[in-house]
Amino acid sequence: MTSEEALAQLGATAQLLTGEERMTLDDQGYLPLPGILSETQVQTMRARFDELVQEEGEKAGTEVHQEAGTNRLSDLANKGACFEVCFTHPKVLACIRHVLGDSFRLSSLNGRAALPGAGLQGMHADWGEAVEPGDYYVCNSIWLLSDFTEANGATRVIPGSNRSRQHPKEALEDATAPHPDQVVLTAKAGTVVIFNSHTWHGGTLNQTDAPRYGLHSYYTRRDQKQQTDQKAYIRPETRARLSEAACTILDV
């Protein structure tokens, strides 16, 4: 099955996006989608997140990345059926398709909880160099499992930086400093924020006394390397549970 056939089977059609939503993704480089997850789904995912942090201990996140001041998880496609929606939801996939075209696959599905007093990241892009507008390689989606607020470490973005032909590592003297054009992505739990991963972004400082939870369902063009080699990691029980279309999105 091709990725285009898988997207059709999953219902991820261009008609799911309004003209305004497509324009926002193109011009601003990000798009919030409120109410993608129900409250029950949010609570189920957060509970599973906490279980995995306890079960994996010091090894949590090692399949991809660990980060001081956060609870990181990786390879979530294999760690709970509750996470399957993160790579099969039709509207989310339609957004990714709009940015990357028909031929893409899941690069990784990770979790990040910024802990109290931590979580500040430098402004960055998820690609190593600047690109021409429209020539995009990667696209991300943040699944909010907490309300994202100004106080608890919500992600900041620079609108339109996906079209800037610049990379933050070359353009910014201090990537951790506030940027005059930054927007902090505040939204309710259950929202999914699609963002073109060439858009400059970074986590802010969690100034509250509770973790701020999010998942990152990250996609790449099909001709590019995955952050998590899904074929290498796929578990037999996961492969047996998933539809052919979902397996095609994973490329397993």
For the segment 137-141, the average pLDDT, to the nearest whole number, is 98
Q: How confident is the model at residue 177 (pLDDT cuts 50, 70, 90)?
A: very high
The phi, psi pair for 107, rounded to 5°, reads -90, -45
Q: Give me the percent of the chain exceeding a pLDDT of 90.
A: 99
- pLDDT score at 161: 97
Q: What is the pTM of this model?
A: 0.96
Mean residue pLDDT of the chain comes to: 97
Q: Which domains does the chain have, with CATH numbers?
A: 3-250 (2.60.120.620)
Write out pLDDT tens, residues 84-135: 999 999 999 999 999 999 999 999 999 999 999 999 999 999 999 999 999 9
Amino acid at 91: K
pLDDT, mean of residues 4-31: 97
pLDDT for 143-162, tens place per residue?
Answer: 999 999 999 999 999 999 99
Q: Is 8 exposed, middle or buried (0-12, 13-18, 19+ CB in 10 A)?
A: middle
Q: What is the model's pLDDT at position 87?
A: 98
Cα separation, 19 vs 16, whole angstroms = 10
Sheet of 138-144, strand order: 30-33, 192-196, 138-144, 212-221, 104-114, 70-73
Q: Chain centroid to CA 60: how far?
A: 18
The predicted structure's pLDDT at residue 132: 96
User: Tens of pLDDT along 55-86?
Assistant: 999 999 999 999 999 999 999 999 999 999 99
Task: State the amino acid at position 108 in one-letter form.
Answer: S
Confidence of residue 241 (pLDDT cuts 50, 70, 90): very high
Tokens read off for 114? 């910024």
What is the Cα–Cα distance from 152 to 188, expressed in whole angstroms?
A: 12
Query: What is the predicted pLDDT for the residue at 229?
Result: 96
The 10s digit of each residue's pLDDT in 198-238 is: 999 999 999 999 999 999 999 999 999 999 999 999 999 99
